Structure 1
Amino acid sequence: MAADRSRRFMWAAVAGAIVMTVFAAVTVLRASSDSAPPVPPPAAAPAPAVATSAAVDAAAPSATPSASPSPSRSPVPQSQNPAELITGMRTTIRESVRAGQLSPDAGRELGRRLDDAAERLAKGKPGKTRQKLREFTRKLLDLRKEDKISDAVFQSLAAELAAVVRTLPA
């Protein structure tokens, strides 16, 4: 009985962390699509969600086989160069596919969308880059809904995505 409660609590906390991460990513993307610079508080929201999930995972181990440890990348990138951050996201995707936390097909789909965004960024088109990152976000959300990506990888990519959007030129 107590195990059922702790498991329910764990999943409720994970679901809450996912909702907060998605909300923060969508808020950041919408704020960045306006001409005004993004508001800092929503961009900082993914970091606590990652910490919350990690605390839940540490408190109650999951019986789900896809809940293997996340890639060893930092959840909040330190670079201020959007091209470098996109490269870091590609690395996260590659490591996640290798670790079995993301299917190869899903990895290719996400990678293709990142490549499109990086191409627009290299051409000096931040508006088009944001549009491609919104497509990436939609695909990421679809993968999460379909349970084709682990929570840890989802949260890591959402945090990295927020960092990319924050560093894009206006």
Structure 2
Amino acid sequence: MTLVRWDPLREIERWDPFPEMGALQRQMNRLFEQLLPTDGGERVGLTFIPAAEIAETDGDLKLKIEIPGVDAKDLNVEVAPESVSISGERKSETTTEEGGMTRSEFRYGKFKRVIALPAVVDNERVGAEYKDGILRLTIPKAESERQKAVKVRLG
């Protein structure tokens, strides 16, 4: 083995990590594709979780839940005084034939999402609309919640 004498005046070489990071990312992608097997184009173990938005007004809560590709008949919506539960099944429309699909990033299967509500609601008077893959719920607040806000005088 040959020792190289250290010279403090010699220019330090800069290391560029980006090419190595790209190679590492490709290796990690291959590893995850092997660890998460597919079954007919569907990822096993990964479930579809719908995204949600909540808007609160003085009188009610408005929920928007994004559920593309799910028929209304495959949805079950339950509203409790403090939460909303959405469950259903997103079914694959693609049939794999010889020479067919080689990769799918869509997630299919049964799902369930429980959303905690920021206020107690009157779950007897829920309005619902399902259009273009968006479920819209209008849920009135319980009468006790509407009267919670009290203006406090200062001074």
Q: TM-score range by the shorter chain?
A: under 0.3
Higher relative contact order (CA 8 A, sep 6+): 1
- The structure with more strand, counted as a fraction of residues: 2
Provide the TM-score with structure 1 as the length reference: 0.24
Provide the TM-score with structure 2 as the length reference: 0.25
- The structure with more helix, counted as a fraction of residues: 1
